[in-house]
Structure formats: C-alpha cells, structure tokens
Amino acid sequence: MTTTTTTTTTVPTTNHAAAAVLEVAERLHSIKPEWLVFFREVLGVDGIVRRTFSTPDALVRFECTPHYARIREMLDDLRDQERERPAERDALRVITVRVPSSLHETLKAEADSMSVSINSLCVSKLMKLIDRESRLGLIGGGIASVTVAPR
C-alpha cells in the first residue's frame, strides 16, 4: 500500500484576510499618524497588505476589494489633514557634507549596524558634539573650540 501526501500552501481566505487587514489599517488611522507612516505600515513593501497577500495574484485580487478602496480613502484623508495642519515641526533644511569615501563607508557600516540612516547617525553625532561643547562653556558669546580625538 502506498501513501500519497500532498502539501498545500495556506492562502488566507480573501474576505477574512481583507477584513483583518482593514481592521489593522483602521486602528492605525484612528491615531492619526503622518500619512507616510500609514503608507509604510499598511501599503509599503513590508506593510501588512503585502505580508498578508504575498502573491501577485492575491495582491491584485485584494486591490479590487472595497477593503482596499477604504484603505486608500484613509491614506488620502491623512494626506489631506497633513496639508491642512500648520507646520508643527521645524522646517527641514539640507546641508551637504563632503567626506572621504573611507569615512563614508565607516559611517554607513555604523549606521547599518544600528539600523538607522546615515543622516540620522550624523545628526546624532553632531548633537553630541554640540552638547559636549556647550558643557565646556561658551567663550565670548561664541562656541569654544574643542578638538575631539577619534575613538
């Protein structure tokens, strides 16, 4: 007697999975995050939609549901609210710093190991230096010159 075993991949029931994804999206929407956070967590590459509907066919089917349409409405709502909101944060400014490629690679490796962007790492390092200088005192209304030895 031979036994045949078949394996099947469990594909979430479209309606149940769609309802679950919508529920997560509604909970996130209720706390009014920035639209980009909502997009990343719900519709982004690693968001709940792509994790739940992992095959191209399943994703296309989900995108044809009223659940998906409601998620898009929530995203549009958050984008509209952000446009109407007065700037609560400081405006961002851009600075460009040219560094040797060896320093860039070192910063990149450090940022990767900390799971942060190079920009975040550099700003953090700048703030530490400024904090250190302010603790050493101000000279004549200007910042004291401090030489920081490499670690």
Alpha carbon distance 148, 125 (integer Å): 12
Alpha carbon distance 14, 21 (integer Å): 10
Residue 2 lies in a domain: no
Report field, pTM of the whole predicted structure over 0.75: no
Alpha carbon distance 25, 68 (integer Å): 10
Are 79 and 29 in a shared domain? yes
Structural domain that includes position 123: 115-151
Are 34 and 73 in a shared domain? yes
76-84 average pLDDT score: 86
Backbone angles phi and psi of 46, in degrees to 5: -105, 15
Secondary structure of residue 1 in the 3-state scheme: coil
State residue 114's pLDDT score.
87
State residue 143's pLDDT score.
45
Percent of the chain with pLDDT over 90: 50
Burial class (CB in 10 A: 0-12, 13-18, 19+), 111: middle
Residue 4 lies in a domain: no
Q: Which residues pair with 138 in a beta bridge?
A: 143
Residue 11 has pLDDT above 50, yes or no: no
Last residue of a domain, one of 42, 63, 84: 84
State residue 3's pLDDT score.
59
33 Cβ neighbours under 8 A, 6+ residues apart: 41, 78
Are 37 and 80 in a shared domain? yes
Residue 106 has pLDDT above 90, yes or no: yes
What is the number of structural domains in the chain?
A: 2
